[in-house]
Structure 1
Amino acid sequence: MIEINNLTKTRIEEKRLKQAAEAALEEIKKPLGLARGKEAEVSLALVGGKRMRALNKTYRGKDKPTDVLSFSQIERGKKFVKAPEKIIRLGEVVVCLPVARKQAKRSKHSLLKELTILLIHGILHLAGYEHERSAREAKKMEKTQSKIMEIIK
Structure 2
Amino acid sequence: MTIEINNESGVAVDESRILALASFALDAMHVSPDAELAIVLVDEGAMEQLHVQWMDEPGPTDVLSFPMDELRPGTEENPTPPGLLGDIVLCPQVAETQAAAAKHSTMDELQLLTCHGVLHLLGYDHAEPDEEKEMFGIQRDILLAFALQERRRSS
- Shorter-chain TM-score tier: 0.7 to 0.9
1:75-121, Cα deviation, whole Å (9 max, x unpaired): 477x89795xxx42200000111111100111111110000000000
Q: Which residue does 1:150 correspond to in 2? A: 144
**Partners of 1:76 and 1:8 in 2: how far apart?**
28
Return the TM-score normalized by structure 2.
0.83
Gaps of 5+ in 2: 148-155
Return the TM-score normalized by structure 1.
0.84
Q: State the Cα distance separating 1:140 from its structure 2 match.
A: 0.8
Q: Which runs of 4+ in 1 moved over 6 A?
A: 79-82
Q: Which residue does 1:47 correspond to in 2? A: 42
Contact 1:23–1:151 under 8 Å retained in 2: no
Contact 2:85–2:121 under 8 Å retained in 1: yes
State the identity as a percent.
Answer: 37
**Partners of 1:115 and 1:42 in 2: how far apart?**
16
CA spacing shift, 1:9–1:74, aligned 2, 3 Å: same
Q: State the Cα distance separating 1:19 from its structure 2 match.
A: 1.4
Q: State the Cα distance separating 1:64 from its structure 2 match.
A: 0.9
Alignment of 1:3-152 (within 5 A): 3-29=4-30, 34=32, 38-75=33-70, 87-132=82-127, 134-152=128-146
1:5-49, Cα deviation, whole Å (9 max, x unpaired): 10022111122111110111012226xxx5xxx432211111101
SS at match of 1:130: coil
Q: Which has the higher contact order (CA 8 A, sep 6+)?
A: 1
Contact 2:71–2:85 under 8 Å retained in 1: no
**Partners of 1:40 and 1:123 in 2: how far apart?**
12
SS at match of 1:45: strand
| RMSD after superposition | 2.2
Matched residue count: 143
